[in-house]
Structure 1
Amino acid sequence: MFEAKLNGAADSELGYGQLFATLMRRRLLLLGVLLSTMAVSTLLSARKDATYRSSMQLLVESNYEQKANLRGAVPETLFTAPAAVEIDYATQIRLMQSPILLGRAVEALRSEYPDLGLEDLKRGLAVSRVLETEDKIETKILQVDYTSGDPLKSQRVLEVMKNVYLAYNLEQQKLRLSNGLSFIDEQLPTVREEVANAERSLEDFREGQGIIDPEQQATEFAKALNAIAEQRRAIQAEFQDSQMRFRDLQQQLARTPQGAIVASRLSQSQRFRNLLTSLQETELALAEQLVTYTDRSPTVRSLTQQLDRERALLQQEARRILGDRAELSEDKLYTEAQMGEVEMGLAGQLVATQTNLVGLQARDQSLAQAEAQLRNELNQFPQLIAEYNRLQPDITTKRETLQQLLKARQELAIEIGRGGYNWQVVEAPEQGIKTGPRVLTDLLLGTVLGLFLGAMAVFLRESMDDVIHSPEKLTETVALPPLGMVPRLPRSIVGQRWPLGGQLPLSGRSPAALPMLQAAQWPLFRESMDLVYKSLRRSSPVSALRSLAITSALANEGKTLVSIGLALSAARLHQRVLLIDANLRSPSLHHQLNLPNRQGLSTLLSGEDRQPLLHSIGANTDVLTAGPLSSDPVRLLSSDELRDWIRAFEKDYDLVILDSCAVLGVVDAIQTASLCEGVAVVARLDSVSQSSLIQAATALNGLNVIGMIANDVKGAQVAYGRPSGLGALFAESVSNRETAESAGRDAA
């Protein structure tokens, strides 16, 4: 997680810094491409012929505006495109640069300029729309420019082009309007036929159904139906009132309507009443005689016979009055024929009420039949209305289309007579003014192009370069923690004597014989090595780092210098340090420190020496040289004696540093590193390649690789432990990692 965060910080914070560093590193290539491009642009500009440009401006407006009613008067599918007169400036500009118009101009200019061709005219002509200066609004003005080597020619060409534009525009406008009339004339017969067919369909519908407007007739039917329903409700209300009255009269008379009629008729017949009176008188006389005489009395018999005759006459009269259906008993005839005036009036009302009830029922039934018939006919109207609504709008639409076509034809005919666009010359062509060559502009463009091409060349060369040039690229290449960086040693410090503070016994030795030791005392180098040593102590997973192998991917990456610097820094911090030259193939430590090499690590491992010959180079600092070269260094480095001696040295010294050989090519460094508690990899910038470093990191996989030291960093400045410049991020990442580890230990 720490490595991903570090790389992300490098990408986001130093993107511009890396870009600048790349350009500075390849500055010679960038400068070469820039100067070459500038030289070429200057040469080409100097060889250009003089050019002159003439301009004219034309105001483009139409003689008429497209009316809103004309735009919506005709269906879009029929007439919108031909009738549109809105100015399309983009199309106008393309037409003004088209070969057709340019060809006309070439023909018109052939007598004056026979060498002028279509391509020459097209190459020198430019048409653009003029912008309003303040608000940057496009105007209705078109500007035409022509560039040529002759100022008079540029003016003459524009004059001819002006005439060509005006003539062609009028021709095209008239042609478009004429095409519009032709289109309308083609559509008129078809539209008329469609109108006639639609009218015939509506006429057939009306004749077949016997109606003119089904919606209006349906409305009338609905009104009639509502009126019938209202009448029925009134009849039903009247019927209920009559029923109630009928029951009241029937209760008062205690007769049925038929009985009331019979009683009324009998009571109103004078003859019947006379016969009834005579019968009653005879009955009375007979009753009086029966009181005195028996039935055998002649008077009684005579009265009885008379009574029978009168009864027969009474029945006969009752049948005459009431008809053959009326058969009433004698008692009934007596009672029914003796009604008073009030009873006769009630009887008349009862009969009239019954008659009214019968009439109301008949009317209600008639209205019900009429209502049912109306409803049946009204139910058929939705289908008729749908059919009518389909036919009627079709006729209306086709009639409107016909009217619109006729109106559009009339308006187009007027527009043809009025002409097309109204072109006004705002600025006439004048004699061309000189526009080139512009040496300063060409030089500026060449500079910009040179910078661009130079940057492209730099980044192309950088993409092909596998060498690591910056600490940031180093941390991106391999996932090893950064331990610190060593600044590049200036040449001026070699041979100088720095105040050593009693650390190094240089007395009696030639300063020129100790270049590496003197370089190790350079203040900036010493500060950077102190930072590396501190990072080593904090980064080691072992509680106390006792042995450390210093190696690199390739040879000549500064392992020996870093080993000496670490040894001196640890000794200055009161640590007893032993520096061992473990490079048995090409040892260099004794040369750098001007020490004898007759005895050393090789003689100690081979058994020639029983005790190591140690050389002191200062307080708390001893050195064990490599010794004479061995024919088989791998055998010596893989022996148990080396492991035993390292363990013995770890007991006597606080830190044992082994200056090993390079990782790639031989197994010596891996073997040496496997015997130490930690491994540090030195990488020299501008020397080691990405592939070599990745291979070395892969080879050291599984070992306790503590981190990586960037060597030979250019521009790195260290003051009071604060690096800056190109290596600032590398040092900052070290500090951040140390802070995180310290916080982790405090939390634990």
Structure 2
Amino acid sequence: MNQSVYLNNNNQIVEDDEIDIGELFKILQRRSLIIIGTTITLTSLGVAWVLSKPPVYTGTVKMQVESVNAGGSGLGNLGGLAGMAAATSGAGSVLRSTGLDYESLTTLLKSPFVMDSIIQDIQQKYPAIIYLPDPNLEEQEKEILSENFNVRQPGLNKMLEISYKSQSKKKILDILNEVVNGYLQFQAKESVQNPTQQLEFTRNQIDRSRQRVANLESQVENFLIKNTLISPESRGASISAQNGFLRQERQRILLELEGAKKLSARLQQQLRLTPEDGVIVTRLNREPYYIKLLTQIKDLELKIATEGIRLGSENPTIEQLEKEREELVVLLDQESQRILGMPYKNLSLDTFSSFSSTPTVTQQFFDVNNQIQVLEARRQGINQAQVALNQEINNLSTLNKEFISLQRELRIATENLTRLLALRENLEIEVARQFSPWRLLTPIDESIVVEDSGKTKILALIGIGSLFVGIMLGFLVDKLDPKLYSTIDVKKIVGLPVLGTIPNNRKLFSLNPQKFAQKELLVLKGLFTDNSKGFNLDNYFSIYNNINALSSTRSIKSITMATVDANQGQSIISIYLAKAATLVGKKVLLVDMNLREPKLHNYLGLENTKGISDVITNDIPVNDAIQTSKLDNLFVLTAGSQIANPVGILSSDKMESVTQTLKNEFDFVIYNTPQLMEFSDAKIVTPLTEGLLFIIALGKTNNANLEKVIGELQIARLSVLGMIINGEG
């Protein structure tokens, strides 16, 4: 029953790879002040540092270097770059057969070959600027333009984007103005202007012809898609085949339909049905529930006839069967009205009964009528298909004329385009290339300058980083904190069962003894109900039940209660545990064994004129010292008069005798002893009871103190029942 207390060695602790999210949130909640304070402090310092930095601006201009109307491989794609390619000796061409090579172009424009002359103009106003680092100059006195300057193609647009970054807006505008002017002069100088009207006219005609051919091809394609045609000829052959098939199928169905109708009329005569009755019988025969009711009525009629012969027509059983038959007949009439939509009385039950005498003829009659309906439906479908096919035949002639007209126009347009392409190839050999000049698309003014310090992003990163540092600092402080804050931490140290957990209730456990006694008195009188979030007497019922569950043969009648350190809620927990035991019908005694600083009587609103110390030292009868509380079945033995040597009294034979007497007179005795860390009283009292139950208050119990106490309990080889965790949640 009793547990041997032991420490979990480090090598016995199994690390859990899974992160307990709930425990992480509890740590964040405990260390929220550290996290918030660190975050605010670091963020404030970061904001002050960012705001102290001078702003940085970026100016951007856009320049068109290629005609927006330039075609795939026409000379208009070349712009003014042929001259540039020739000017860069050994640099290679920056042209592609399908347009400008923007990667090579931007490399050329940022090269010293182009930028040297521009830098000379810039240095007239800003002499400290150089384009590339020079090892012969002191770089701290020079500004390197290439570090803050860039030329790129924005996406797939036919333009260049030129940007420069600086702390001075005026400097940005001046430098961009010099760069743009330098680029325009470079392009104008390197370009060769030789317009040829004949070639330009041919190109325009080619574009129109291509558009015309494309439009006609699209019209032909849309015409075929719209009319679901591969070609009018193939569609005509398909329609003709379909028409022949429909005529043959229609003739075959008419012959089958005529034969089926003749057979139906002959069978109807054999069954002695009118045409109207035949239709109704056919409809009713398709309804399973109607047939089921009819079968039940036939079975009842057979049973009535059989039982009537045996019992007589006046017998109550026969009357009951007749009544059931009438009810089924009513249901049958209702079902036939539901199926037909109106009451129909011409057909009697005898008529349906007669069908059973000729089952083969009846089934054939129903099958033939079903076949007639199927053939009628197929005949109607074929008629509708024939009408649609005739309409399509009428439309096909018109479609064929339109298709021939489109093909003729497409052939003429294709021939014209072929002639124009041949003419253009001859002209391109004979004429000089034509280049289009570059042009600035963006005015160079303050509207192109925007702040590019990235302060918003930096501030966001500072805030996130400060929060991260705060959280890490919170986790570090929590890790270094010697106090225990969770049941998991306790279990890692102590290998004992947790007999119960008391929810965190700071308000309750911070009450002084007098206020606690007043609150309990109001609760007892029904003037106050403790609905606080952390209080639930069920927790104490659970602890009491778990204590008794430790023994399978008998109930535990006496326990020693103790804590590791002082002020961990031991007195209140002892009182509520005793209260829970009384509510299940037990006669309970609370004994205050804290002979140094008695408190239990104050929590219960009782006098401490005589108690356990007086029983031991002055031979006062124990029953004279026991007081009754305001709660039924709860009795209290206070500490009594203060004495100089509590250990001597607790170790006496008289103490052992008193504890045995109390165990015999009460169902459950709780000895409330001082804290284990400072006094040995609990270690002396525990052998006189059935075991020690010690309380660990989360957030208050020191890790090192707990390990020390457990080590001492191991040495003393005391019986320890388990632990109560106070302050969970």
TM-score (norm 2): 0.47
Higher relative contact order (CA 8 A, sep 6+): 2
Mark the structure with the bigger radius of gyration.
1
